[in-house]
Chains A and B, each alone.
Chain A
Amino acid sequence: MSSSPLRLLLDFDAQYRRDRDQTPAFLHRRDRRLALVREQAGATPPSLAEWLHAVGNGRHDTTSLRRWRRLNGGLLLAGGVLGVLTMLGLLYVTGPARINVTLFLALVLMQLLLALATTGQALVGWRPWGGLLGRGGPEQGAPALRQLQPQLAARAAQTGGLAFAVTALLTLLAQILVRDLAFGWSTTLQTSAPAYHRLVETLAWPWRGWLPGAVPGLELVAQSRYFRLESGAPADPALLGGWWPFLVMTWLTYVVMPRLALLLLAQAHLRRRARRLLRDHPGVAALRERFATPWVDSGDEAPAATPLTTPAAAPAPPPPADTGTLIRWAGAGDGDLVRHLVGEVPILDAGGAATLEQDRDTLNRADGGRPVVILVRAWEPPTGDLADFLDDARAHWGPATPILLQPLATDDQALAPWQRFLARRQDPALQLCPPLAPDREAATP
């Protein structure tokens, strides 16, 4: 389980982006269940790390961070190599005889300013080098890392800087050990030895109380001043080597220690920023809401019914002129409408409020030798009752008697169930007439 805020942020963000493809219902159910399991065990809802472990099976997206690690490693190596080269350069290039302490102090000052500038840049979130890390940068694929670029870059830079400082210090110590280094100080400025001594003493303030041997005395300062055009050997070559404890302590105090402190600060800043980004992450509030909100399932995930296919409509003949009987099914149509339809023929009733006895009586009274028209309300779909009546009619009148279903309908849409009903019955003598507007029918939907 990850405890690093950065790791947590990256894992959470990756899971958040994966979850965007899931349905809200699934996410709510999954997370609420996790919270309930904890609740039943008497615990609070899971922490983000526990939640990530539960839903992601401990999966970490390390690709994006690996690139930053690589950058860190590169800067560490580069810093280390540069530290050695710079110190060697300083010790060899500044002069064969005396190494200028002023130049050394300038390098210290520059290192300190660079370290502080790096930190300041990270604190205000300025990214002057952003273009280098823009598209295709190390955080590609992990948008959350983009917000941490200043802090990540500061950490990498401070790491490189620390490597530089440490290897430079080691180089200095090694050179002190294997060579007899002579230090002196020189400057174009009109500075007296006492003034330079005061500067040196001020710089040595952190250690002068407990390491007086690393604070050059006025005599050493006065004697080690040299001028470039001055010829001749110094007063006491052995004395000039006495600068080294001061230089080592200066480097340690003003380069190594600040770099280390600022690296720790960069690390802490990175963690704090990652924690803050995680706190403000849009997914966190939504997740907490899912933990706390009961999962209400109203059966809405049942599969949808498959729509039925309607067979192609068969040719629809009008009621024939030689209709023998008209039967009103379940009270469909009134007398005038029916007479207008088929003329003066016997009108009988069946279905609906009629009893089964009355249905049988209707079958007996109908003229089975001529076409029979059955008037139906199209918006009342065909039921088993009608199917039974048609079965009985066919048995009673024989298979050849034309039976025509005359639907009352205001539009063709209501006819689809009737067309399917006819298709299922497979009775060639049973046909559906074109719909008739139910002018006087009050009950039209």
Chain B
Amino acid sequence: MTAPPRFAVVGHPNKGKSSIVATLAQNDGIAIALEPGTTRDSHRYPLSVDGHVLYELIDTPGFQRPRRVLAWLQAHSASASDRPETVRAFVTQHRDDPRFHDECELLTPILEGAGILYVVDGAVPYSPEQEAEMEILRWTGRPSLALINRIGDGDHLADWRAALGQYFQIVRDFDAVNAPFDTHLSLLRGFGQLAPDWEGPLEEAANHLRDQRHHRQHRALALIAEALADMLTHAESARFGEHDNRDALEHDLARRWRDRQRQREQSLRRDVEALYRHRHLHRREQALDWEPGQDLFSDQARRAWGVSRTYLATAGFGAGALGGAGIDALAAGHSLGTGALIGGVLGAAGSLYYGGKYADKLGALKLLAPLAGGGRRAEFGPVRDPQFGYVVLGRALEHWFQVSHRNHAGRAPLTLDHGDRHWLEQLPRADRQRLQKALQNPPRHPSDGKRRQALEQAVENAGGAFLQWRSGNEDSE
């Protein structure tokens, strides 16, 4: 069995080597700007599928003393044919020398057969000072690829391409922070072009990563559907004694109910981030502030992610008609569509009634059956306003979209602002009605398979529409 391809990511300090490894290894724990000059060891990041390693990325320290290394090599080489051997001799000679620790660390995997991924920053002008590094790498005789990362706003790609082309077989641009996922896969396939034996494993790896992404999308939308079901059906209850103040109890239960909804929304955020392996994400979300006018229950959130009364009425009509059509089907069509019409009118009326004031219609205290030992059971929730489901769903989809499209090299906090609510326009009419119906009839318990599947399907469709809408927005920007 042949060893899997390995790639040493090398370069000048602070040019984004780690950011490239972080993005490709999907590890946001890798320091992006570790301080050069501190002792660093190489770190290996294998990509394995069911325990079988397909390739390995090796994050290495940057060059510290390339001019001295090159001077040593030139002094100890007799001809071009002994260059790889001379580089090996340098590492052997200086393995215990602290001054050349970083060079030995970065050259060792290359001498052991790794391909070279040389990283430069295309945002700064080309400078001949890095030529010593490139020359040393050329001396190793290993297959190599240069990656032009862009850390800042400057654009000197053309100069870098021209210069790097003289030293490396392939030169690629790759923005580790902003490159879309398809570009990651394309880059991996590019690594496979460095040697004939490497093409197969890298192609296989790219296919697995693509499948993994589809799988994650499916799981993330299922998580959103689960959270929606929890939040739409949650109720807080307490004992209401004869001498208790009803308003105080309602206020207390409403507060508990809202806190619980916020916590559930936050746990969904964490679950989605964990699914996409963002474990060090700093999130700036308006709900975190929990200030009046800023959070999940604010009118601002409703305006951003809720839907209009007209929409509610039309989607409510459609959802009601879906239910009514069931009656028609049961009556084998003899009701001549009356069921659908009645269902539609009832659905629209219900949606309009509950679609008025957002915060006021979220829930109200209900007094239920008397309890043993005195008093009655008081309950706040489940939510009555159909807007709430759209607000939670819109916020969750926005968060999911941002997390799923965020590279692991990203360090800026994730900012979840309110967005444009027109994402629903991407959803076909029939799917809107299914969504409305699913939000009106969420599963009451985890084993309510039929409703759960309906909600999961509706959220899956909504996710597809949201993705399309966001992609369209990004293209037009």
Contacts and interface: CB of A to CB of B under 8 A. Distances in A.
B152 A308 contact: no
A389 to B, nearest CB: 10
Contacts of A201: none
Interface stretch (B61-69, B107-115, B247-255, B347-355): B61-69
B154 interface: yes
A421 interface: yes
B36 A302 contact: no
Interface string A156-189: 0000000000000000000000000000000000
A380 B14 contact: yes
A302 B43 contact: yes
A324 to B, nearest CB: 25
A45 interface: no
Given A298-B209, A353-B127, A383 B64 contact: yes
A109 interface: no
Interface stretch (B117-125, B193-201, B389-397): B117-125
Contacts of A417: 35-37
A294 B46 contact: no
A280 B452 contact: yes
A280 B37 contact: no
A379 B279 CA distance: 28
Contacts of A299: 25, 27, 44-47, 57
A36 B50 contact: yes
A383 B132 CA distance: 14
A351 interface: yes
A134 to B, nearest CB: 9
A44 interface: no
A144 B447 contact: yes
Contacts of B218: 289
B293 interface: no
A296 B26 CA distance: 11
A384 B68 CA distance: 10
A237 B369 CA distance: 57
Interface stretch (A91-99, A262-270, A312-320, A437-445): A437-445
A331 B446 CA distance: 66
Contacts of A387: 37
Contacts, number: 172
Interface in B203-227: 208-209, 211-212, 215, 218-219, 222, 226
Contact of A282 (B30, B280, B446): B446
A304 interface: yes
B460 interface: no
**Candidate in A281, A282, A301, A417 with the most chain B CB atoms within 10 angstroms:** A282
Interface in B266-300: 271, 274-275, 277, 279-280
A296 to B, nearest CB: 5
B125 A353 contact: no
Contact of B219 (A24, A36, A144, A304): A24
Interface string B14-42: 10000000001111111100111110000
A343 interface: no
B35 A305 contact: no
B127 A331 contact: yes
A307 interface: yes
Contacts of A308: 34-35, 38
Contacts of A23: 274
A300 B125 contact: no
Interface string B45-88: 11111110000010000111111100100000000000000000
Given A356-B67, A384-B64, A384-B102, A330 B31 contact: no
A202 interface: no
A160 to B, nearest CB: 23
Interface residues of A, number: 59
B225 to A, nearest CB: 9
Nearest to B15: A380
Interface in B392-409: 408
Interface string A367-388: 0000000000001111111011
B339 interface: no
B259 interface: no
A273 B288 CA distance: 42
B151 interface: yes
Contacts of A32: 50
A147 interface: yes
A190 interface: no
Contact of A383 (B47, B63, B151, B450): B63
Contact of B129 (A25, A297, A298, A351): A351
A293 B274 contact: no
A420 B445 CA distance: 57
A74 B64 CA distance: 81
A300 B36 contact: no
Contact of A294 (B129, B152, B208): B208
Nearest to A131: B369
B152 A298 contact: no
Contacts of B219: 24, 286, 289
B61 to A, nearest CB: 10
Most A CB atoms within 10 A — which of B37, B219, B275, B448?
Answer: B37
B152 A445 contact: yes
B99 interface: yes
Interface string B360-403: 00000000010000000000000000000000000000000000
Contacts of B30: 302, 304-305
Contacts of A444: 152, 154
B34 A305 contact: yes
24 contacts: A24-B271, A144-B447, A146-B445, A280-B450, A282-B446, A282-B447, A289-B215, A293-B211, A294-B50, A296-B49, A298-B26, A299-B45, A299-B47, A300-B25, A302-B27, A302-B30, A304-B28, A304-B280, A305-B30, A305-B31, A305-B34, A330-B129, A444-B152, A444-B154
Interface of A: 23-25, 32-33, 36, 131, 143-144, 146-147, 276-277, 279-282, 286, 289, 293-305, 307-308, 330-331, 351-353, 355-356, 379-385, 387-388, 416-417, 420-421, 424, 442-445
Given A147-B447, A307-B31, A445-B152, 6 more contacts: A298-B25, A301-B27, A302-B25, A380-B14, A382-B36, A384-B64
Interface of B: 12-14, 24-31, 34-38, 43-51, 57, 62-68, 71, 99, 102, 121, 123-125, 127-129, 131, 151-154, 208-209, 211-212, 215, 218-219, 222, 226, 271, 274-275, 277, 279-280, 369, 408, 445-450, 452
